[in-house]
Amino acid sequence: EIVLTQSPGTLSLSPGERATLSCRASQSVSGSYLAWYQQKPGQAPRLLIYGASSRATGIPDRLSGSGSGTDFSLTISRLEPEDSALYYCQQYGRSPYSFGQGTKLEIK
């Protein structure tokens, strides 16, 4: 099983700043099959990014994904209060399709 390690565990930033969230895989993720989700308290996850860099429907271009192999990142520019949430990466290149443990983004 591919283990995904996300860092940092918690990120605290101010509105207008840029956040960079990291996701590192224990093995190379084939085809850059890496997705990012946002989850707010009491809600289901929401797909943000798939294929490492493609935005899902309705996702603003303030959010961008990058990376390949074992190192991936999600960047959120011009932070807004509504970006406060948990963020998970998921690899779907090899079954079982594992998730990272999450990064909590706090907007001060």
Partner 1 sequence: QVQLQESGPGLVRPSQTLSLTCTVSGGSISSGDYYWSWIRQPAGKGLEWIGYIYYSGSTNYNPSLKSRVTISEDTSKNQFSLKLNSVTAADTAVYYCASGETRGYSDYWGQGILVTVSS
Residue ranges binding partner 1 (CB under 8 A): 1, 33, 35, 37, 43-47, 50, 56-57, 88, 90, 92-93, 95-102
Closest CB 93 distance from partner 1, rounded Å:
8
Is the Cβ of residue 89 or residue 107 nearer to partner 1 in the bound state?
89
Closest CB 19 distance from partner 1, rounded Å:
19
Is the Cβ of residue 72 or residue 79 nearer to partner 1 in the bound state?
72
Contact 9, 92 (CB under 8 A): no
Counting beta carbons within 10 angstroms of the beta carbon of residue 57, is it exposed (0 to 12), middle (13 to 18) or buried (19 or more)? exposed
Is the Cβ of residue 7 or residue 43 nearer to partner 1 in the bound state?
43
Closest CB 66 distance from partner 1, rounded Å:
17
Closest CB 27 distance from partner 1, rounded Å:
15
Alpha-carbon distances, residue 89 vs 15, 21, 37, 44, 72 (angstroms): 23, 10, 6, 14, 9
Encode burial over 82-100: b for 16+ CB neighbours within 10 A, e otherwise: ebbbbbbbbbbebeeebbb
Is the Cβ of residue 69 or residue 93 nearer to partner 1 in the bound state?
93
Q: With H, G, I as helix, E, B as strand and everything else as coil, classify residue 31.
A: helix
